[in-house]
Homo-oligomer: A and B are copies of this chain.
Amino acid sequence: MSTWLEGKPLAERMKAEVAEKVSYYKDKTGRVPGLVGILVGENKSSQVYLRSKERASQQVGIAAQILRLPADMEAGALKAKIESLNRDENVDGILVQLPLPGHLDPLDIISVIDPAKDADGIHPVTLGRLLQNQAVLKACTPLGILELLKFHRIPLAGQEAVIIGRSLIVGKPLALMLTNENATVTVCHSKTRDLPAVARRADILVAAMGQTAFVTPDFVKTGAVVVDVGINSVSDSGIVASLFGNDAGRLKDLAEKGYTLVGDVRPDVFSKASAMTPVPGGVGLLTVAALMKNTLQAFIRLKGL
């Protein structure tokens, strides 16, 4: 019997824990954590993501604001803005919503954030501390995945974990975190020879390459745990039918929103896995919950609590 690793119960629990601590510190100090999300330009997905982060902040009592900047903002002006947020006592967490417009180098911009306020956990200092197994703040999506696996009591030590995708915000930091948890970790990518065979070694398979329904049952050892990090918007009804048949929810999505969200894993992998995260409703919810946790951690550190 396969089971779905739903993100919601854990995300709610994580947020409830953050809310409780925020309330405790508010009583004690009169202050609440402050989070600023920077949006440069008007990328539609970015706006959706930022709104969900703003909503979660409101839920837990974090003072969040979205700083909307013009798409043609120059690097120097953007960095000066970030530096002023670094100095602002009311701001404990700063995140730059990616992707940025093409003229801005995301690594260059992110490196300006004070590491103590790196709510997304992707500043070079934060990543280096993660390699050293010393991180206080951690990359949100990998942190969410780790919390989800632990919540569902998936064993990690001594297990073979295979991660497909080597991005700076998911694949590489997750590899470090799983190694720190005593898993035997392999990172795969577009240049990997015989990717399905390598993936089939996994007790825990993580799909994080951002390609719709790329991982088929042929990639999966029977009984493996599958973590689907992809969030791909699909509006082609033929593709949706081929993946989900006549699933009512998906048809409703298409009819009402014009698209449905599909992961990097084909839905028919589910029956071969022992457990699998759904898309939507899996890892994505935990990324936001992890952001809340990081912002609280940053606040506690910065205010010396």
Contact = CB atoms under 8 A, between A and B. Distances in A.
A172 interface: yes
Contacts of A158: 191-193
Given A124-B132, A126-B128, A131-B131, A189 B198 contact: no
Given A160-B198, A179-B189, 11 more contacts: A107-B132, A124-B125, A124-B128, A126-B128, A127-B128, A131-B131, A131-B168, A131-B172, A157-B191, A185-B186, A185-B187
A292 interface: no
B182 A189 contact: yes
A70 B168 CA distance: 41
Contact of A125 (B128, B186, B188, B192): B128
A188 B187 CA distance: 12
Interface residues of A, number: 33
B134 A129 contact: no
B184 A193 contact: yes
B134 A123 contact: no
Interface string A186-207: 1111011100001000000000
B176 A184 contact: no
A214 to B, nearest CB: 17
A193 B127 contact: no
Given A123-B128, A127-B132, A131-B173, A186 B184 contact: yes
Contacts of A160: 193, 198
A143 to B, nearest CB: 15
A179 B173 contact: no
Contacts of A184: 186-189, 191-193, 198
Contacts of A21: none
A166 B179 contact: yes
Interface of A: 107, 123-129, 131-132, 134, 157-160, 166, 168, 172-173, 175-176, 179, 182, 184-189, 191-193, 198
A247 to B, nearest CB: 35
Contacts of A172: 131, 176, 179
A239 B44 CA distance: 67
A182 B191 contact: yes
A164 B131 CA distance: 16
A127 B134 contact: no
A255 B27 CA distance: 73
A92 to B, nearest CB: 21
A187 B193 contact: no
Contacts of A129: 124, 128
Contacts of A124: 124-125, 128-129, 131-132, 134
29 contacts: A107-B132, A107-B134, A124-B124, A124-B125, A124-B128, A124-B134, A125-B128, A127-B128, A127-B131, A127-B132, A128-B129, A128-B131, A131-B168, A131-B173, A132-B168, A157-B191, A158-B192, A158-B193, A159-B193, A160-B198, A172-B176, A172-B179, A179-B189, A182-B189, A182-B191, A184-B189, A184-B191, A184-B198, A185-B186
